[in-house]
Amino acid sequence: MLSLNTIMWIILIAMAAICGYNILSSILQSRARKTSVQIVTTVHDNPSTSRAFTWHSRNPNSRDAQLQITKGNVGDFEHSSVTSYEANHSALRLEGQDIAVHRVVTADLKPSTMYSYRVRDSSEGDWSEPHTFTTAAEEISEVSFIYVTDSQADKVNEFRLWENTMKQAFARFANPDFVVHAGDLVETAAKKSAWSHFFNASMFWIGKTPIVPVVGNNDIKDIGAARYASYFHLPENGAEALKGTQTNYSFDYGCLHIAVLNTEKCIKQQTKWLEADLAGTHCEWKIMVMHRPIYGGTITKKLVDWSRIIDKYKVDLVLQGHNHVYSRSHPVKNGRVTGDGSDTVRDHEGAIYVVVNASGPKFNKLKEDQFYHKLHFQNKKQIYAGISISGKTLTYQAYDVDGQLLDQFTIQH
């Protein structure tokens, strides 16, 4: 016969087990209600006070998607300081299926402040896992970012190379202000799975750090720009002929002005736009980004007119892609090499044109050196670069995924 003490212990143990089961069930249910969403963040307006977000949902009729945001690194959104935004909605038909595209621009944020946010597809839907980001300082005195290109793949295992490249880049250049991708995000634009693999491999950073995307030829081949455009929410200040494509735009980030161009179409319209855009900025530093290179592994003749505008408005650096080799020019001005041959460019001697090697699986055969080449090689390894600006100095460093420093230079004003 059991003693009274033994019976009491059995009862207490049973009660503890029941409570533990209920708590665990509650946690699991809570986690189950949080959905995995590919959220892409971009620069849209003032980076000190705003941030843009884009995500997709399978229900094309979900017109009441929302984003909630609050200060700090928190998981609790059930309090009065949470701000809610209704997303802008558009529908897109992909591979015979209608999907919804949701976009939000948050405004009136505080500079130098960490925020947590989450999204959902409808007022009755489940919330995503929370993400965090930090706004830029009110007075941006320094800028740093990562530059990559040509992740260009279709399969999961291929995009693991892209993911590894970015993990190496973030480990070396921690907390960048943004990431520039100079085009060909995927190999086959028509494959929904390729885009899903790209963003899945990018999820560890792209919901926190803005991407500055550049359209490549493979990103729109055979299907146009609609799918590419659906993943981003970028400034609509480009050439009128490219409105809505998310492929031609510019923005200021403190002392830096970045102009992004589409090398696949509307070249003449962008030439006029570029002149007006660069004439209108008062930033100390100017960088252009495009996919096909003016001066890269090869010369793209249809783009040479842009180099005249680059020279006229003293653009410092041109970041390019497409060649799947590594290429860095001497300073070039008026179609000629300038400077003293060193790794320091002074007083706007000429623009530097760079192509980093691919960040994905594909490498091309090296072609003959051109008159402008300072460096030109094929190492058959993924490469990333870190670029930082402080005061009158821009510093550039390029590494391969094995951690070897392959190139570095500075530009002095």
Q: Is the pLDDT of residue 14 over 60?
A: no
pLDDT digits (tens, 9 = 90+) for 240-270: 999 999 999 999 999 999 999 999 999 999 9
What token pair was written down for 209? 């750090």
- Written in H, E and C, the secondary structure of 331-353 is CEECCEECCCCCCEEECCCCEEE
Residue 47, token pair as written in the block: 């980076």
Compute the average pLDDT of residues 368-382: 97
Average pLDDT for 274-278: 98
pLDDT on residue 63: 76
Q: Assess whether pLDDT exceeds 50 at residue 123.
A: yes
Residues 217-227: tens digit of each pLDDT: 999 999 999 99
Euclidean distance between CA atoms 359 and 363, whole angstroms: 10
User: What Cα–Cα distance (Å) separates residue 347 from each residue in 116, 313, 318, 326?
Assistant: 42, 13, 16, 25
Instruction: Say what the pLDDT of residue 237 is.
Output: 97
Q: Characterize the bridge pairing of strands 336-337 and 332-333.
A: antiparallel
Given the candidates 1.20.1090.10, 3.30.70.1560, 2.60.40.380, 3.90.420.10, the CATH classification of the domain at 39-135 is: 2.60.40.380
Task: Specify the pLDDT at position 358.
Answer: 98
pLDDT above 60: residue 12: no
pLDDT at 156: 97
Domain boundaries, the chain: 39-135, 142-412
Instruction: Give 80 or 130, the one with higher predicted confidence.
Output: 130
- Per-residue confidence (pLDDT) for residue 279, from 0 to 100: 98
State yes or no: pLDDT of 319 exceeds 70.
Answer: yes
Q: What is the mean pLDDT of the chain?
A: 92
Q: pLDDT at position 80, please?
A: 76
The predicted structure's pLDDT at residue 160: 98
Cα–Cα distance measured from residue 175 to residue 136, given in angstroms and rounded to the nearest whole number? 11
For the chain, percent of residues with pLDDT exceeding 70: 91
| pLDDT band with cut points at 50, 70 and 90 for residue 29 | very low
Please state the rounded mean pLDDT for residues 148-155.
Answer: 98
**Predicted pLDDT at 98:** 87
Please check the confidence at residue 170 and state whether its pLDDT lies above 70. Answer: yes
pLDDT at residue number 26: 41
- pLDDT band for position 23 (50/70/90)? very low
User: For residue range 181-211, what is the model confidence (pLDDT) as tens digits?
Assistant: 999 999 999 999 999 999 999 999 999 999 9
Has residue 100 got a pLDDT over 60? yes
- The predicted-structure confidence for 392-407, as pLDDT tens digits, reads as follows 999 999 999 999 999 9
> Which residues contact residue 261 at a Cβ distance below 8 angstroms, ignoring those fewer than 6 apart?
214, 248, 270, 274, 288, 289, 290, 306
CATH architecture observed for domain 142-412: 4-Layer Sandwich (3.60)
